Amino acid sequence: MPHFTGPDGRIDIKSLELPEIEAALQGMGSERFRALQVYKWLWQRGVTSFDEMTNVAKPVRALLGERFYIPWLTTLAVQKSIDGTHKFLWQTEDGHRIESVLIPDDERMTLCVSTQVGCAMACSFCLTGDLGLRRNLRPSEIANQPLQVRQALEAQFRISNVVMMGMGEPLHNVDNLIPALRIYLDEQALNFSHRKITVSTVGLIPQMQKLADALPVNLAVSLNATTEEQRRQVMPITRKYSMMALLDACRDLPLPNMKRITFEYVMMAGFNDSMDDAARLAKLMRGIKSKVNLIPYNENPDREIRRPGDARVRQFQHYLVHHGIQASVRVTRGRDISAACGQLGKAPERSDVTPGEKVAVVRIRREGEGYDASFLPDP
């Protein structure tokens, strides 16, 4: 894998996996076991300078500092929703803004992570898609998000689940995603269980296979339609990979025991919320170890798409359940801070926060707006 470098040409050490750090240290004449010490300082202690690595000899620290640097996301703002959701606005070294969202509910504390700056997939219902793709995030930038959230809020919360559903199509950046996920899963690093990590995709079929071959994490497929024509209207990727080819690939994907693919279905009034859609969706799920997560559309001024009424959402869900499909409804979280599904990337474009500012905790209250339990994919 090519090395990522900073503005002064030094190598981004947090985009390296442990064996690469071992090889680098050996190349510098240092003992191999030092690499694990360095790695733990980076990912368990979250240090930002080599000088903090007090059990590493000073000459080794000096050598490391000459060749490598420790990347860090600048925290521009942390917004807190009335429902307890926190949205983190970060700035990358080269000035891009990305977001992570921490979503509490009764049993879980889920962090939604970004994998790209913007997104190339142009799903018509999603505001992130309006940005287009600016660039892929590096492994270090994908893995620093939970580390830095842990450091900011550790006293209050412990992240239990991670979903790759923030800005970007994770599998469009699969070559950086896989090394980042190894850091998530490594017990010497971020130490998340594979059962607690879910990667979402619009359905990039070869990359789905590549991820499944590499790591046993959960997969969520963003479906959002029940016919090819309907899906083409809202998800341009359908022109490259048809919905039927995607579902066939899901059927054939080797899934570890007990794992199911989550199918996300953003419900848009008058578009894909009819009972005919429910009937077609139930048929499409046949033969796939699946569960369906219904996501009533989050209305916003930039789209004319409407959210279906609660009664229709429940009727749709009941139809699926009565036809043997495990189906749940995700309740909107963080809408008052533009942290809800499909809203990411909106705030940074319009934000007044400036680079280098200290963390600003913004509390936004809107009387009368109610937000209750979130539903995110179960492992």
CB of 130 to ligand SF4, least distance (A): 8
**Piece of the chain touching ligand SF4 by CB under 6 A; list 8-16, 56-64, 123-131, 283-291:** 123-131
CB of 120 to ligand SF4, least distance (A): 7
Q: Does 199 bind ligand SF4 (CB under 6 A)?
A: no
How far is Cα of residue 63 from the mean position of the Cα atoms in its chain?
Answer: 35
CB of 353 to ligand SF4, least distance (A): 22
CB of 185 to ligand SF4, least distance (A): 23
User: Is 119 assigned a catalytic role?
Assistant: no
Q: Which is nearer to ligand SF4, 37 or 242 (CB)?
A: 242
Kindly list the distances between the CA atom of residue 30 and the CA atoms of 13, 53, 58, 63, 64, in Å, as whole numbers in the listed order: 16, 15, 12, 10, 10
Binding to ligand SF4 (CB under 6 A) within 163-182 occurs at 168-169
Quick one: DSSP state of residue 44?
I
CB of 246 to ligand SF4, least distance (A): 13
Separation CA 140–CA 91 (nearest Å):
13
Q: Which is nearer to ligand SF4, 22 or 169 (CB)?
A: 169
Which residue of the set 99, 141, 169, 264 is catalytic? 99
Separation CA 243–CA 288 (nearest Å):
14
Q: Does 234 bind ligand SF4 (CB under 6 A)?
A: no
CB of 222 to ligand SF4, least distance (A): 6
**Piece of the chain touching ligand SF4 by CB under 6 A; list 3-11, 117-125, 270-278, 324-332:** 117-125
- Residue (of 246, 151, 255) closest to 205 by Cα position: 246
Number of residues that bind ligand SF4 (CB under 6 A): 10
Separation CA 249–CA 203 (nearest Å):
9
- Indicate which single residue of 16, 202, 220, 320 sits in contact with ligand SF4 (rule: CB under 6 A): 202
**Piece of the chain touching ligand SF4 by CB under 6 A; list 6-14, 84-92, 115-123, 270-278:** 115-123
Binding mask 126-155 for ligand SF4 (x = CB under 6 A): x-xx--------------------------
Q: Does 121 bind ligand SF4 (CB under 6 A)?
A: yes
- Residue (of 63, 92, 87) closest to 77 by Cα position: 87
Contacts by residues 94-97 (CB-CB < 8 Å, ≥ 24 positions apart): 95/355, 96/134, 96/135, 97/348, 97/351
Tell me if 208 sits within 8 A of 249, measured CB to CB: yes
* Residue positions counted in the chain: 379
Kindly list the distances between the CA atom of residue 318 and the CA atoms of 72, 220, 250, 279, 329, in Å, as whole numbers in the listed order: 46, 21, 24, 11, 11
3-state SS assignment for residue 99: strand
User: Is 341 assigned a catalytic role?
Assistant: yes
Binding site for ligand SF4 (CB under 6 A): 119, 121-123, 126, 128-129, 168-169, 202
- Provide the annotated active-site residues: 99, 341
